[in-house]
């Protein structure tokens, strides 16, 4: 009977149950090393592998397709058979057959369980109601999105890594967000008490209310909201949605039902080769238990996948990889807050010693844990600033001897020797990319075999293609190794110009070139591209401050600059007037409201202290801006690589802690530098005291008031890779402050690379902060007067680009949806949400409730 069944069952060398990130990595590794092995993937989800690490980005605009790690076409090209919604019901270990819920059967030589984990939902009465959800899969995201549309308040149960990611998702979805945690602090596994306290303060400051030491007893009907959570201490919290993210449990029920060895508290027991108790079955990822440990990060799962592939292909030979545990260090950004944890963060090692640095005004906490001899780093905690993470991780992973004074690793820079580790100091065994287990030696080998560019090294080794956290370190290693071999590290902007941005800037300025045609004819080749054209336009604007829509410049601009507004996902544009320093009169507020009402625009107050209006049709832009300009507004340059905003607190005028008039200073600075075109966007912040309400130290130019004047911070930024600014000078009077800023920004525009933020510019500058201080304060290059004159020319020739545009009838004609028609684009449709419009989804465009545009 068995033989007759087997004869009708497809024969596969390898069957993989599960197609999460780890299961997909296993498939990639096996196919790369064994092109002919037959592979079949059985995915329980209705889709192939996707990036769970970045799930929260779904709520900031990414789609399921954006998160996808593979496609059916790609698997077909790799000759990988796959089935989605293929839940495995039975495993016949004797006949080596698996059966899925449809009754289909598949034979295997080797079976790989990559079933992952499932979210733990505490056994709380009432936890199965409609808007009590979990945060784990793409389908969960759709459920959360649907619930958020009919909810105002959301609660996340769980304050660990996953819980805070889930809280970020609710916040991105527009809900008032709370986090409820049973433990006394957030991220108790990764952070010590002080780090957890600071993280709570920072997240609370972002508008997420944190409730620790709360045990939920029941979920019942609420009064003002859909639900009420009753806590063991007698308090309660009302909410419309509850998102459980209280940890994970290994998805091991299939293995347990078929008598594979299990851990006492769950998990499929594996050995160093990721073999289970059955010699033909492997387990990898979060379902696997190795030496009583479950590894809940993707990087260890990838390492397991590689070990399993190695054993399948090589058996127990000397060249077979073994899984020997994994580093669980993490660096992440939670709702804009930088957090890092390395090794023994809680100093549990016998005789371990700790050094701590805490700066409460700046919201920084750093701790390193060292051994009894104070020569080896055992662990670290970083909250508020993870710029030291890469250096500390290399000290810990490679047992590198600590400097004489270990505290120098976390103390603010004093201008002395930098304790950071250069690429040369790293041993060949140093792990550069933990996601794909790429060592420095692997990178060196790739270069020796002919990979002479960063992109080719990435392609060859897969380094930095996982979470991307190693990108900066990878570039340092590659550049250092190429330099050793005498290979020039080129900085050509594109194939049309064999020059860096800095070199093109000097060519334009020295030779007085004012058009792209002349520039490419004399110093380039070809017709130009989408890289060099906007770059040249930016340089012309920085040097000459010409109107960007002049005929000779018009063809160089990207879409945002052409229409003087940011194009949105549905083809409409944003309208962002400048609000210097965040100060605005009631009349101007009323005007913004009237324009938003009359043109049916979505209205949002931003973190940059402005009011953004979204959903404007291209043909409406001139009329909208005509009303705004008449009312006293100017363009806010939200579409440009230029000064965006100067954020301020209320300063000494209103605040009892303020020591200087930060509002007036912010307004003066914004009016001075508005319209300044640069390699990248620039943001300022001005705080009236050291309480730092304007968050100045996260800005390109940060100014904090003191009793004696102003402290100047430089080259900070938020965004994808946040960085605190460095203290540049203290107790400056306003005249000196402005002089220094003029010089800094002019030098940045003169020397930075294309699309390079000020933070990266200074970090890559030989000599760093000290050199910049010498150039600006001590004038070691003798160019201070030139830098000031360059800035004064920009200030003197400023024009509001929208004012110039609406006064020119020919330019106004360009703002039409269709060249030969005044008709509107019927594809642009909106739906109502929270009393305002938003772009309709493709599904919604075919339903009712579409908001017609006037």
> What is d(CA 167, CA 154) in angstroms, rounded to the nearest whole number?
8
Closest CA to 636 of 592, 594, 600, 599: 592
> What is d(CA 111, CA 95) in angstroms, rounded to the nearest whole number?
12
- H or E element, residue 835: none
Known binding residue 274? Answer is no
3-state secondary structure of 147: helix
Any residues with CB less than 8 A from the CB of 261 and at least 6 apart, and which?
A: 268, 269, 276, 277
Known binding residue 715? Answer is no
Any residues with CB less than 8 A from the CB of 310 and at least 6 apart, and which?
A: 273, 319, 320, 321
> What is d(CA 690, CA 362) in angstroms, rounded to the nearest whole number?
8
Any residues with CB less than 8 A from the CB of 652 and at least 6 apart, and which?
A: 658, 659, 660, 661, 662, 688, 705
Q: How many CA atoms lie within 13 A of 236 on its CB side?
A: 15
3-state secondary structure of 773: helix
Closest CA to 54 of 411, 417, 388, 333: 333
List Cα–Cα distances, 574 to 590, 638, 854, in angstroms.
18, 9, 17
CA 590, distance to chain mean position in Å, is 36
Instruction: Check: CB of residue 202 under 8 Å from CB of residue 196.
Output: no
The tokens for 8 are 């009708």
> What is d(CA 140, CA 142) in angstroms, rounded to the nearest whole number?
5
The tokens for 661 are 């008039």
**Tell me, what DSSP letter sits at residue 153?**
E
Known binding residue 433? Answer is no
CA dihedral 379, 382, 385, 389 (to 10 degrees): 20
Residue ranges with strand state E in 161-255: 176-181, 209-212, 216-221, 227-231, 236-239, 241-244, 248-250
CA dihedral 280, 283, 288, 290 (to 10 degrees): 60
Closest CA to 20 of 3, 44, 1: 44
Any residues with CB less than 8 A from the CB of 647 and at least 6 apart, and which?
A: 581, 582, 607, 608, 609, 666, 683, 684, 685, 686, 694, 695, 696, 699
Alpha helices by DSSP H, 581-661: 586-598, 621-630, 651-654
Known binding residue 689? Answer is yes
The tokens for 325 are 């545990």
- H or E element, residue 154: strand 153-157
Binding positions: 649, 655, 689, 693
Binding positions for [4Fe-4S] cluster: 649, 655, 689, 693
Binding positions for siroheme: 693
């Amino acid at each position: 009977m068995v033989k007759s069944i087997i004869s009708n069952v497809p024969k596969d060398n390898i069957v993989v149950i599960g197609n999460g990130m780890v299961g997909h990595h296993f498939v990639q590794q096996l196919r790369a090393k064994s092109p002919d092995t037959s592979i079949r993937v059985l995915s329980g989800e209705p889709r192939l592998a996707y990036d769970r690490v970045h799930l929260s980005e779904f709520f900031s605009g990414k789609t399921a397709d954006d998160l996808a790690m593979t496609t059916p076409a790609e698997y077909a090209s790799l000759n990988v058979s796959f089935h989605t919604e293929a839940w495995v019901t039975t495993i016949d270990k004797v006949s080596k057959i698996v059966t899925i819920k449809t009754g289909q059967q598949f034979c295997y030589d080797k079976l790989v369980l990559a079933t992952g984990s499932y979210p733990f939902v505490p056994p709380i009465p009432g936890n199965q109601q409609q808007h009590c959800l979990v945060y784990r899969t793409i389908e969960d995201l759709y459920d959360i999105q649907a619930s958020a549309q009919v909810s105002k308040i959301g609660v996340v149960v769980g304050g660990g890594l996953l819980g805070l990611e889930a809280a970020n998702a609710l916040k991105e979805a527009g809900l008032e967000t709370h986090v409820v945690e049973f433990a006394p602090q957030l991220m108790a596994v990764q952070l010590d008490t002080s780090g957890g306290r600071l993280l709570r303060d920072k997240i609370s400051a972002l508008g997420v209310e944190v409730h620790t030491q709360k045990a939920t007893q029941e979920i019942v009907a609420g009064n003002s909201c859909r639900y009420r959570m009753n806590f063991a201490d007698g308090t309660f919290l009302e909410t419309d949605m509850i998102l459980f993210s209280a940890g994970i449990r290994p998805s091991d029920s299939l293995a347990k039902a078929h008598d594979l060895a299990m851990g006492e508290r769950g998990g499929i027991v594996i050995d160093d080769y990721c073999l289970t108790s059955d010699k033909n079955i492997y387990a990898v990822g979060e379902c696997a238990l190795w030496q009583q440990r479950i590894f809940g990060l993707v990087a260890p799962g990838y390492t397991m996948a590689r070990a399993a592939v190695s054993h399948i292909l090589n058996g127990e030979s000397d060249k077979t990889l073994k899984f020997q545990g994994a580093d669980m260090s993490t660096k992440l950004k939670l709702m804009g807050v930088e957090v890092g944890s390395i090794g023994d963060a809680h100093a549990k090692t016998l005789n371990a010693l700790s050094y701590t640095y805490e700066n409460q005004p700046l919201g920084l906490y750093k701790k390193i844990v060292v051994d009894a001899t104070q020569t080896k780093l055992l662990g670290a905690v970083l909250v508020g600033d993870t710029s030291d993470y890469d250096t500390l991780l290399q000290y810990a992973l490679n047992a590198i001897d600590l400097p004489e004074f270990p505290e120098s690793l976390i103390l603010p820079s004093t201008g002395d020797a930098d304790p950071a580790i250069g690429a040369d100091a790293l041993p060949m065994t140093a792990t550069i990319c933990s996601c794909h287990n790429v060592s420095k030696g692997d990178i060196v080998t790739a270069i020796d075999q002919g990979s002479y560019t960063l992109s080719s090294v990435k392609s060859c080794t897969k380094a930095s293609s996982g979470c991307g956290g190693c990108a900066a370190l990878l570039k340092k290693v590659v550049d250092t190794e190429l330099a050793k071999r005498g290979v020039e590290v080129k900085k050509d902007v594109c194939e049309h110009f064999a020059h860096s941005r800095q070199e093109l800037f000097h060519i334009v300025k020295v030779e007085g070139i004012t058009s792209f045609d002349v520039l490419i004819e004399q110093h380039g080749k070809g017709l130009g591209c989408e890289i060099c054209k906007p770059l040249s336009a930016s340089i012309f604007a920085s040097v000459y401050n010409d109107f960007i829509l002049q005929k000779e410049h018009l063809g160089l601009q990207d879409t945002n600059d052409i229409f003087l507004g940011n194009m949105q996902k549905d083809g409409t544009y944003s309208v962002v007037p400048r609000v210097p320093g965040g100060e605005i009169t009631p009349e101007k507020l009323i005007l913004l409201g009237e324009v938003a009402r009359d043109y049916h625009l979505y209205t949002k107050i931003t973190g940059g202290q402005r009011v953004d209006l979204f959903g404007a049709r291209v043909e409406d832009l001139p009329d909208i801006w005509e009303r705004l300009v008449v009312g006293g507004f100017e363009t806010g340059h939200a579409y440009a690589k230029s000064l965006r905003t100067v954020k301020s607190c209320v300063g000494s005028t209103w605040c009892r802690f303020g020591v200087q008039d930060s509002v007036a200073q912010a307004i003066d600075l914004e009016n001075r530098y508005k319209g300044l075109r640069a390699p990248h966007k620039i943001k300022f912040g001005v705080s009236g005291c050291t309480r730092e309400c304007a968050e100045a130290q996260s800005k390109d130019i940060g100014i904090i008031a003191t009793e004696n004047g102003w402290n100047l911070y430089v080259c900070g930024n938020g965004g994808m890779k946040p960085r605190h600014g460095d203290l540049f000078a203290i107790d400056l009077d306003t005249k000196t402050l402005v002089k220094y800023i003029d010089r800094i920004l002019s030098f940045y525009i003169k020397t930075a690379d294309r699309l390079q933020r000020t933070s990266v510019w200074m970090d890559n500058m030989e000599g760093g902060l000290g050199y910049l201080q010498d150039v600006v304060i001590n004038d070691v290059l003798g160019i201070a007067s030139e830098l000031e004159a360059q800035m004064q020319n920009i200030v003197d020739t400023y024009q509001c680009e929208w004012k110039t545009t609406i006064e020119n009838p020919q330019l106004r004609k360009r703002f039409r949806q269709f060249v030969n028609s005044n008709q509107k684009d019927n594809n642009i449709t909106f739906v109502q949400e929270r009393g305002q419009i938003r772009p309709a989804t493709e599904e919604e465009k075919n339903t009712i409730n579409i908001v017609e545009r006037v």
